Structure 1
């Protein structure tokens, strides 16, 4: 059975496939909000430094000239694989103009996680065959070591400027900055226009983003120009009716938003939703280099941010600091959108109780779908749900044997077809064959489709299939239960003693696997750890079925390890548990 978006979801308009992303985002002929009426696309939330939409068009032009001169690139010579740059930086207001300048030259951008070690960054630079690296001052030491190991000369390392609050005032003169490249480009001749035939945008890789999944080395996901353009149009079409409803009577221009740009620009969520769909619709993105709760709240207050794009750990931090939140004027916020990791129903309800006027939404997507597959429509909110399918998306569910699931509320692996599904993995044909089948993509996520009170088919993400805890039945070893860590984590977060948590599987002789909670205690927890552990376990036992009880115990930790996008690093926690069992003499 193929599931499709509800009938009321707007249809997807034609997707241009003969232009680079830069033309689509910056040229009014392709449907973007009029440049003269758009808000400033990117504004620094710490300093207020900003560029208008017309300024960005000019800067991209000048920067493309400078890059063509610096690297001897020509738009219609060679392929994107001859023009690969790496970007290893905290968020800046110049990161996307840099990417668009590279795209205008027919090149490719490989953004790297700002939390990477030297070894991790080296692997990505080598795998992508990057010939230059753009970084920022706080990450320069790591960047230089990785560049050297990847064969990138020191003269091909460039700096993106950060606010002095983050980078300080001193900038080493040895390294050319993006701002200096823009200035150089002013006096250089314009570059020729890319001459692409129909279909070229579908075949050309624009971004090479690395997705680690749950095992193995990170895989380079080849994201085409058309993939990003398609998802931008999908998001725009899906939300247009609601945004139009906000327009005051007599106003002809489109409604624009002021959005939070805090999530890492290297992550597909921020890269597409905020950094492409936002500017295309004429929105302003308030860029923050990293999460710090007071600078985050100050930016919301000072810039009158209306749309918060966050991940569950930020929501948890907000709920654990309610008194601090009350010190700031957050009345401008109309909606909060959570993604990158599941947001539990309990957490969403707690946030709604704190701020009843805010629309709390959730979406689902992957790097391999670049990015959004489902989203909560502002008029059809269902807590715990990741919303409905976007325009142009089709979905199927299959059981572990590969049989098609045709009934509602029956979990299975989600398989999707969408114009935003990417080209596959670089240098990994085996993984590509296993994940991509013609137009369909296996997500590796177990989901269920349930009807909302309004009768719409909503997608509920259970968890990654590889993360599910398989607990054998005590009465019949041939039967068993699957426990979703995300469900237990969402429930644990409602206990006052829990500031943050993760749930993992540990081996058990009779049950095969049982859940264990890794907990960061809140200030409400006392000094009696044994009593705290018992209270946490009882919280689960009072509300969950027996096979979901924390029979693996509870371990306390200072901070739950997470990626910059908010995903729990369960593999690291499992490795820690395995090592602890080994030292204790237990069977691994």
Structure 2
């Protein structure tokens, strides 16, 4: 049997009797670097306000007490955080965990319907929402029966909130701190952290609408320790100047905190590493460059669209980025060509990729200490504690250098999809996770993502399920059938393109008027834009077909249409070049 394991050494002890908040705010661990007492935990990018460990710990307790006093939030209930990045985002999630409750983090770009789906699936009982997105939060709350009095504004930045909503987080913290404790936080029983839920994080898995992934407290704790072991925290493997992670380093926190990459790697791992996080609510490239210089940021966690801008945006030449020492790219594969360009832009940094997914909570592979620049095209090497198999089409196990589906296990794996037996059976198999990614692991231990076996697209690092867009498009009165595929895009990685067959009445309109086709395509694209989050828009366009190809059992021949889409992209590229 061919099984791949980490080359970075064994996994240290992972405590299984603490919650994530207890591990981050209360506990010690041999892998944890000693943070300098004057080093802030967070910096608010826009204002420069610093937030210390003591302030965070106090605010967490105050908010937890208020949630208990006001609404009796208790163990195993679910609180939704609906916000862009904010210095009180970690406070909100850790306060929820102090109560033994579960966090489900939602994309603030969601409309009311999309948020309502997540609230219903997660069975949320309250929403902590940024005031700029309060309207959507209230609309979703109404749809699912959560009273406005359980919708909690994160701050007062948008002015006075409607009178029927809850006090904001600042007001609640003051209220909680002014009253006696109304809850008793408990230490988990040995082994309980492996089953007690911390997060219901949403992932599209392999098909269909997003699924609620059950992530217990043990999983992110284990993953933090796995990464710390991979990078030899607290071990004298080199000089201080050459260490990848040093207490006092400063990192960006611009990756969305609702996304598993931002949630576990950016927040929890980097704070465990003794770093200060500069919290930025929204990625705006030139402001991002300003912050890197202003705060002397040493560590960048990025996704491929950000790398593309660093390599190609003309503004970059105006900035001195020589102090940046570490760049990690994740969420989607990064081409070797972009890596070579990035090395020229940030010459003094260790640069490489990582790989993980919500179902593995989160990191499975990272570029190793032995590489200053990660192997071109590689997603890194397995972190300690991970075991991997590469399964070929015939079910046999691939050897080094052979291609197949990546299947992994380890201490950070999620448990299942909540209330989705079929999806769970397809992805979680006897403690192993089927990733749906076709890979090669070479003789050196480098992991290369070859292709995506599953249907999910990765747009700007976000998962987009074709079936969700197809279900929406089929409600359009002019559409008879549809199939959505991803096409390559330099900035977004890939973007959705919709193949559409029209209803007879619409087909007759298009046939009788040459301009009608363009009008209808624009109308169909707008139909998606008006109802879906921005990264699900049909940026790849709409293509009309007489019929959507299917096999005899009626299954969409998606691969056939992917091939057709590639030809269309190639033809369009050829036409553009001929005009030059």
TM-score range, shorter chain: 0.7 to 0.9
Is contact 2:24–2:268 with CA below 8 Å preserved after alignment? yes
After TM superposition, give the deviation of residue 17 of structure 1 in Å.
Answer: 1.0
In 2, Cα distance between equivalents of 1:412 and 1:429 = 25
- Confirm or deny: 8 A CA contact 2:41 2:51 kept in the other structure: yes
* 3-state secondary structure, aligned to 1:412: strand
Q: In the alignment, is the contact (CA less than 8 A) between 1:36 and 1:54 conserved in 2?
A: no
Distance 1:385 1:216, change over 3 A: same
**SS where residue 214 of structure 2 aligns?**
strand
TM-score by length of 1: 0.77
Task: Report Cα offsets for 1:473-513 as digits up to 9, x if no partner.
Answer: xxxxxxxxxxxx99x94xx84xxxxx666378999xxxxxx
Distance 1:468 1:192, change over 3 A: closer
What is the alpha-carbon root mean square deviation over aligned residues? 3.0
Query: Which residue number in structure 2 is paired with residue 71 of structure 1?
Result: 71
Does the CA-based 8 Å contact 1:244-1:254 persist in structure 2?
Answer: no
Q: Deviations over 1:340-385 (max 9, x none)?
A: 0111111111111233222211000000000000001243221210
After alignment, is 393-402 or 378-387 more displaced?
A: 378-387
Shift of 1:181: 1.3
TM-fit CA distance, 1:171: 5.4
1:382 aligns with 2:387: no
* 1:393 aligned partner: 386
Q: Equivalent residue of 1:402, what SS?
A: coil
Name which of 438, 442, 449 aligns with 2:441. Answer: 449
1:128-143 equivalence runs, <5 A: 128-143=122-137
The 1:435–1:350 alpha-carbon spacing in structure 2 relative to 1, beyond 3 Å, is same
Q: Determine the C-alpha separation between the residues in 2 that align with 1:365 and 1:447.
A: 13
Question: Aligned-pair distance for 1:202?
Answer: 0.5
Paired residue secondary structure (2:442): strand
* Alignment match of 1:279 (pick from 248, 271, 278): 271
Which blocks of at least 5 consecutive residues in structure 1 are unaligned?
A: 470-484, 494-498, 508-556
Q: TM-score, normalised by structure 2?
A: 0.78
| Alignment partner of 1:179 is 2:173 | no
Cα distance 1:41–1:65, how it changes in 2: closer, same or farther (>3 A)? same
Moved more, 193-202 or 35-44: 35-44
- Who is 2:196 aligned against? 204
Shift of 1:11: 2.2
The structure-2 alpha-carbon separation of the partners of 1:408 and 1:565, relative to structure 1 and needing over 3 Å to count, comes to: farther
Please tell me whether the aligned partners of residues 385 and 458 of structure 1 are also in contact (alpha carbons under 8 angstroms): yes
Return the alpha-carbon distance in structure 2 between the equivalents of residues 464 and 328 of structure 1. 37
Q: Paired residue for 1:581, among 525, 540, 544?
A: 544
- Please state how far the C-alpha of 1:291 moved relative to its aligned partner: 0.7
Contact conserved, 2:251 with 2:298, CA < 8 A, in 1? yes
Task: Report how many residues are paired.
Answer: 486
Corresponding residue to 1:120 among 93, 114, 124: 114
Alpha-carbon distance in structure 1 between the residues aligned to 2:310 and 2:212: 33
| Residues 40-60 of structure 1: CA deviation (Å, up to 9, x unaligned) | 222211111221112211221
Quote the residue 1:228 is aligned against.
220
Aligned counterpart, 2:13:
14
Rounded Cα–Cα distance in structure 1 between residues aligned with 2:494 and 2:432:
31
The residue that corresponds to 1:528 in the other structure is: none
Distance 2:359 2:118 in 1: 17
2:362 matched to 1:371?
A: yes
Matching residue of 2:333 = 342
1:461 counterpart = 2:460: no
- Map of 1:154 onto structure 2: 148
Q: SS of the residue aligned with 1:297?
A: helix
Q: Equivalent residue of 1:210, what SS? A: strand
Tell me the equivalent position of 1:362.
Answer: 353
Q: How big is the shift at 1:175? A: 4.1
User: Does the CA contact (< 8 Å) of 2:388 and 2:408 recur in 1?
Assistant: yes
Aligned-residue offset at 1:278: 1.3
User: Over residues 258-287 of structure 1, what are the superposed CA-to-partner deviations in whole Å (9 max), with x where a residue is unaligned?
Assistant: 111001100000101111111122211111
Indicate the residue corresponding to 1:512 in structure 2.
Answer: none
* CA-CA distance at 1:172 after TM superposition: 5.4
Query: 2:252 maps to which residue?
Result: 260
CA contact (8 A) 1:247 1:255 kept: no
Q: Deviations over 1:74-95 (max 9, x none)?
A: 5xxxx41xx2101111110111
Distance 1:279 1:342, change over 3 A: same
1:223 Cα shift?
A: 0.5
How far apart are the structure 2 equivalents of 1:144 and 1:256?
40
Q: Deviation digits for residues 207-226 of structure 1, max 9, x if unmatched?
A: 10000145311100000000
Which ranges of structure 2 fall in alignment gaps of 5 or more residues?
Answer: 458-484, 500-524, 550-580
